[in-house]
Amino acid sequence: MKTSFVFHIMIASIILFFVGIFYQTLLQLRFDIHEETHNQSQQIFKAFYELKNLELEFYYEKNDEYIEKIKQFKEEKEALLYTDYSMKFLLIKVYYPLEKIEILQAYQNLLLEYHQLLEHIISDTIKLGLTHNEGLYGSLRRDAHTVENIAKKYQDETLMVHLLMMRRHEKDYMLRGLNEYVEKFKAKAIETTHYIETSYATDRLPLEKSLLNYVKNFEAFVALSNRIGETNHLGLRADAKQIRIHFENLDKVTTQTYIKVIESIQKTIFWIKILNVINLLVLIFLVYLIKKEMIYHQEKNPLTGMNGNTKIKRKLQELLKYNDERVIAYFDFDNFKSFNDKFGFKIGDEAIEYFALILNQTLHDKRFFLGHIGGDDFIMISKNASFEICLEKIEESINKLKLFGEKYYTQQEREKGFIFQKDRYGIERQMPLLGVSVAIVHLQKETKIESIDTLSAYISELKLKSKENGIAIQHL
Alpha-carbon gap, residue 303 to 351, rounded angstroms: 11
Q: Please give the biggest Cα pair distance in the chain.
A: 90
Phi, psi of 329 (to 5 degrees): -120, 130
Banded model confidence at residue 298, pLDDT cuts 50, 70, 90: low
State the average pLDDT over residues 134-145: 84
Radius of gyration over alpha carbons of the chain, in Å?
30
Tens-place pLDDT, residues 332-341: 888 888 888 8
Smallest CA-to-CA distance from 181 within 221, 134, 141 is with 221
The answer to whether 475 and 444 have CB atoms below 8 angstroms apart is yes
**Global confidence as pTM:** 0.42
Residue 295 pLDDT exceeds 70: no
pLDDT of 19 reads: 73
State the average pLDDT over residues 174-197: 87
| Domain covering 309-475 in this structure, CATH number | 3.30.70.270
The answer to whether 440 and 381 have CB atoms below 8 angstroms apart is no
State the average pLDDT over residues 251-274: 65
State the average pLDDT over residues 84-107: 61
The answer to whether 302 and 3 have CB atoms below 8 angstroms apart is no
pLDDT of 95 reads: 47
Looking at per-residue pLDDT, the higher value among 444 and 279 belongs to 444
Assign 375 to helix, strand or coil. coil
Looking at per-residue pLDDT, the higher value among 260 and 420 belongs to 420
Banded model confidence at residue 137, pLDDT cuts 50, 70, 90: confident
Q: What is the full DSSP assignment across 15-80?
A: HHHHHHHHHHHHTTS-HHHHHHHHHHHHHHHHHHHHHHHHHHHHHHH-SHHHHHHHHHHHHHTHHH
State the average pLDDT over residues 398-424: 75
Domain edges within the chain: 135-228, 309-475
Banded model confidence at residue 262, pLDDT cuts 50, 70, 90: very low
Residue 92 pLDDT exceeds 50: no
Phi, psi of 243 (to 5 degrees): -65, -40
Residue 94 pLDDT exceeds 50: no
The CA-to-CA distance between both ends of the chain, in Å, stands at 45
Residue 11 pLDDT exceeds 80: no
Banded model confidence at residue 101, pLDDT cuts 50, 70, 90: low
β-sheet with 377-382: strand ranges across: 368-374, 377-382, 326-334, 435-443, 471-475
Residue 232 pLDDT exceeds 60: no
Strand-pair category, 435-443 with 471-475: parallel
Write down the mean pLDDT value for the chain: 79
Tens-place pLDDT, residues 167-179: 898 888 888 878 8
Looking at per-residue pLDDT, the higher value among 328 and 154 belongs to 328
Tens-place pLDDT, residues 315-357: 888 888 888 888 999 998 888 888 888 888 888 888 888 888 8
Alpha-carbon gap, residue 50 to 47, rounded angstroms: 5
